[in-house]
Structure 1
């Protein structure tokens, strides 16, 4: 960035003050929260994330310095909520990823289900992984498969759940042809993500703590003195 395009010291100072104001508003919203998914807290969180990001960028452009702030799920990932204050209807969007880790276990489970429902010797769907998946997901609720995934030879991947606000409940069959099309991120009331990457981050932090402790010189005991 050229010197002419650099922010002024006053602009950096103003951005810092905006962060302080956003911090106060976020704390006030948390103190007054009406429930676990209070939209006021969500809005204050996004405002704080945006203010911190703006300050971080100006600070770097002006002074070549960065902040220690890292706010997950900021405005780049999820824009501020602009849906109705009191939604009349909701849509819950769920995605769960799995790896078929043990195909034989999957096939065995599908064959047990098929044997209980089909006559002996019938040419059923449980002989292929594709058919076994269709049979098991048709027999069991998604939440049950999630809780028993190892029994079905599956390994969990990332998952996410989005609760989106709607003005009215859709007409029967209205969105069945393309159920996940046209989701408006600004109408997401809340979202819950599960990923191994979060566990990896925690393990990295624990490793850093262990290394720090190992690097520290032990205090001499009374006997050593």
Structure 2
């Protein structure tokens, strides 16, 4: 798994040591906290409204954090990093409630940082060269990335990942993400759950996708992740 992922940790208010009793071992640590947005709630307007950010980050994302804290409290997995928790929960079998909430916490943290005010345009430097090498052109990358988001049935995510020294577009349903594939390192994600766009464009997912790709992608952040993944 790429270095950009291996170093990511949960955010904690304080560290609390494990308390052991005769009856059982109780694993305790301070709770996971909702990360602040990397910009103000109105910073992505007119492309994504303040109302959408308020509901999406302030309510949906916050609920995933709260649910995850409740689910892992006093369990051994409470001592895992977020990335470790996702992999362990995924490897336990079919997606568990812990996996679903942990996956959604990671996915949203990654999504917010994949956007920025005055984003969009084109990447530069080594990232642009790699995209042109592996997709044939930047326009072809955009076509494939938009198609991944538009054809994801129901809720899910579109991704640009590094795999085997090459870049590729993929998509995942629900809370799934590339952390479940050790060969992949995520570089960019786009949320295509309805709560990402419904307040702004109702059921017109393709409109939201085009806006995301053309106006919102933080290519500097994607380039940073690409450099760390090499």
Fold in common (TM above 0.5): no
**How high is the TM-score relative to the length of structure 1?**
0.22
Larger Rg over CA atoms: 1
**How high is the TM-score relative to the length of structure 2?**
0.22
* Larger RCO (CA within 8 A; separation ≥ 6): 2
